[in-house]
Structure 1
Amino acid sequence: MPFRVEEYLRPDGSSPFSKWFEGLSHEAAYKVLTARARMEHGNLTAVKWIGTLGEYRIDWGPGLRIYLARDGKELVMLFGGGTKKRQQADIREAEALLAEYKRRKAETRKGRK
């Protein structure tokens, strides 16, 4: 089943995923784009779930990671990325972004009622 893959945008419009992606080498960026295409085609087999946060593992170079969460049946939100070396700090940062996303989504729903 294909997924719609989107980058999470903070309240100021910035994308933590894009900020991380723009700092990658060409080779690393290619690996990340390939992983994103796989997600769009419904392939999440490389994802390890830590509660509701997913860690897409790319077995290359420094051990690239992409942090994501599913929202419903079709949407995968990208929160950022990192390497195996910074894994714990990156997970904490992605968890905070996921909490921010959920809080903003709940506030939006309340505003519609």
Structure 2
Amino acid sequence: MAKIADRLTRLQFGHWGDVKPIGEGVSELRIDVGPGYRVYAFQRNRTWVVVPGGGDKSSQRRDIEAALLLARELRNAD
């Protein structure tokens, strides 16, 4: 978990590392530790929003669907 926290801290300074767009403006941050953790984020105005949840390689398809849904809901909350 320390690697994930470190990665999120580096985001604050614009250091994205291994990132892949997954659609609808949402990106997957891949963290190469353990089972291959994933964190999802999207840009809202000039701010990057980390989507609650995430997962690892084994649940990737399900996690992406959930991240896209949550990103839509967060965008529509305005």
Task: Tell me the TM-score normalised to structure 1 length.
Answer: 0.64
Q: Which runs of 5+ in 1 are unaligned?
A: 1-28, 106-113
Would you tell me which structure has more helix in proportion to its own residues? 1
**Corresponding residue to 1:99 among 68, 72, 75:** 72
Would you tell me which structure has more strand in proportion to its own residues? 2
Residues 41-100 of structure 1: per-residue CA shift (max 9 Å, x gap):
101231111121110000111000001111123x11111210000000000001000010
Identity %, equivalent residues: 34
Q: Which runs of 5+ in 2 are unaligned?
A: none
Runs ≥4 residues deviating over 4 A: none
Task: Tell me the TM-score normalised to structure 2 length.
Answer: 0.90
Between Structure 1 and Structure 2, whose CA radius of gyration is higher? 1
RMSD: 1.0
The residue matched to 1:44 in structure 2 has which SS? coil
> What pairs with 1:29-108 in structure 2 (closer than 5 Å)?
29-51=1-23, 52-73=25-46, 75-79=47-51, 80-105=53-78
Letter matched to residue 2 of structure 2: Y
2:26–2:71: 8 Å Cα contact kept in structure 1?
yes
1:104 and 1:67 map into 2 onto residues whose CA distance is: 18
| Higher RCO (Cα < 8 Å, 6 or more apart) | 1
